[in-house]
Chains A and B, each alone.
Chain A
Amino acid sequence: MRLVVERPGMFTTIQDGGRWGFARWGVPVSGPMDRWSARLANRLVGNPDASAVLELTLVGPRLRVERECAVAITGAEFDVHVGTRAVRSPWSGGVSAGSTIAFGARHTGARAYVSVGGSFAVPSVLGSRSTEVRAPFAGMAGRALRAGDEIPLGESPSLARVVEGDGFRAWWDAASRGAHRTLRVMATEPATAAFETLCATPFVVSTRSDRMGCRLEGTASWGAIPGGLPSAPTTLGAVQLPPGGSPILLMADHPTTGGYVQIAVLCRADRQIAGQLAPGDRIQFVPVSRDEARSAHLARERALTALAPEVLE
């Protein structure tokens, strides 16, 4: 049984918990840009957190399921037609065999996640089903979905495990709103004057942003930016400062190493917000202490568990 792609959307890929252990050969971690929402989508249909989901970007796909299954849609808010029902994501519920899931208008956020009970039975490559677009490999042949693709569905757990739609709506709102577009960052050590400048400057997300990095435009006075550094390891959420002065916030597909100076790192709790940034969004960086970052992370984890408990393998 398969999920058939009738219309692919703008950039829809298969992502799972990510690919660890191969960065010394230059293989990026990948995985969902908004991992929190992908985990929620999995929990709502009874899948373990790291199961493969679809990540769609700005414009969603039209999909058809060949068997009855549990489906959850999380992340960015879209109007969606599920079979004959008009719903607004986040949403989860049972979908009958032959039904289509058609994405319409987008309201907030940039990326939505579609999980199916039992997940997708695409091959695991280097320990992950996440799409690596540059090498390319895994996911759907290392590329974004195309019309006509048929994604094999995994063994389905009981449909009874699905958490139905309305119950988590208020929780989702509470967990997702409020902190929008303020990104909390820690300075790299030792802290630089550039970190102060980063936190004192409003930025706009550039259209040249992608899954590797969120490119930021602003009118910062950086002073001298160090260049010609030997390439060094990078990390998810690091803010690189190229000599041109336009910072890059490193995202899920970021290269494992880089030659630009790194001035800040996003706290774990705000990765969800960063993963939902769209071109044109305005953001403000604010400093956060290590203790505050940890508390914020634990609060995000509690919010997730309040929405849906973790499903163990």
Chain B
Amino acid sequence: MRPVEPRLLRQGRAARGYLAVTVGLGAGGTVLILLQAGLLATALAGAARGIGIGALAGTLAWLGVVLAGRAAAAAGGEAAALRAAAEVKSGLRRRLTAHALRLGPAWLGGQQAGEITALATKGLDGLDAYFARYLPQLMLAVVVPLAVLVRIAFADWISAVIIAATLPLIPVFGVLIGWHTRAQTQRQWRLLALLGGHFLDVVAGLPTLKLFGRARAQAEVIEEVTSAHRKATMTTLRVAFLSALVLELTAALATALVAVEIGLRLLYGHVSYQTALLVLLLTPEAYLPLRNAGGQFHASTEGATAAQRAFEILDTPLPARPAPSTGPSDDVDLSREDIALRAVTLSYPGRGRPALDEVSLTIRPGEQIILTGPNGAGKSSLLALLLRFATPASGTITAGSVDLAQIPADRWRSQIAWVPQHPHVFTATVAENIALGQPDARREDIAAAARLAGADDFIRRLHRGYDTVLTEGGRTLSAGQRQKLALARAFLRHAPVLLLDEPTAHLDPVSADWIIAAVGDQMADRTVILVTHRLPPQLGRPTRVLALDHGRLTCIDDRGEAPARTLTEERIG
């Protein structure tokens, strides 16, 4: 990690303002440190010369002002730094969420969604330490030693030379030791994470372990593993503590050197008592910020690592968007145009075999297609292509005469309604959930769509009807109810194309038949593609049945009959 991540400092005007205040108060605090030492030396030396408290009243009063100023600068600096952190976190969080969403469901699949949620909330909170501790300390580490050095040089150049010669040793040693221990420390952290994972794994598996009489023996394993970890950690820590010792000794011995040197010169009358006191008070101040910055560096790494991960995600390029006006794209109307796939291949990174392998297919407006095949045959991948969640590796998809890549994704999707295998129920009211694609829809239209989908009855029985807030992904609803909600969502969209991905997979036969019948009734003049591995009863009009196997369209049957080879086994009895 770099000492300062410049992109972190460029998160909006409010953050820059607070950062400027932090810097200003840090500089002000530095001046106050110099003034405090001078006033303290004046007071002590004055009192030593026998000047009474009356004559020193001015000095003491000024000292009081300076001390009050330091307290104010400390409070103000921390407040400004924390506010800067809050602004930066807010900016990063919003951009991160928006970017992750725009990267699309294909990118978000797997573990990403959970990681990003954690990153956007808990992860970025680590930036508080970065802004409120590390950054101000880093600044002070640059400014204070220089200012102190200049001040001492004016008072006593010999001491200044000693400090100037020893001061650079601190960062040099620090960096050298840091290099030396970094690999070891990182290995240690990985080991620690691994151990935490192991403990969690064992505890989560306790019922299973007990069932097989293996639970008790695990206590010893845990003891052994933890103790091995302690030994390994202590080896690393010993090195880290030794390095801290080296830094501390350097600073302390340099301070002692200056104190003794100036004491001896004072003894022989080469410097005044006041000057000697000033040098003594200021010398430790020159070393302190450098040592502190080293310590705060570790506190800051958590936030900085989170920020780095956030920037990595923000740097992931968005799927290419076509130029806004590239000819006739605006006029594609899926209620009139064919959708043609020609030799389309789709592969996912990290998987050997393509999910779709040279699939060619023409979907005519208003036709009903049943797409079937075993798990992993590529059925959902075909829908992902039509939804523009994925782009083909080779081959073309056209609507009418326009290549799909020329049509903006949102415009394309506005003509498609989709009922996914696991529809997401948002933390929102039932009505808002149904009106997902039509936020301005009237309540009557929402209720009408729900009625058509067979959802109206159960919605009315909810304690606040259409205004019931659904939470936790709709866990209070049954799978069938969620599916009906998704169906209502799709019906309300009034789109010329309806895609259904296993809408009945988790339903009892009665609900399944109901849903298929509703689709058949309501979508008579629309294009419907139904993915299923059970052949439903007739949809009431000519239906084409397509079968996918290992990413290839293996049979295309236009007569509305089930191809015996693949479907009889799955027919509902």
Is chain B a partner of chain A in the same complex? no
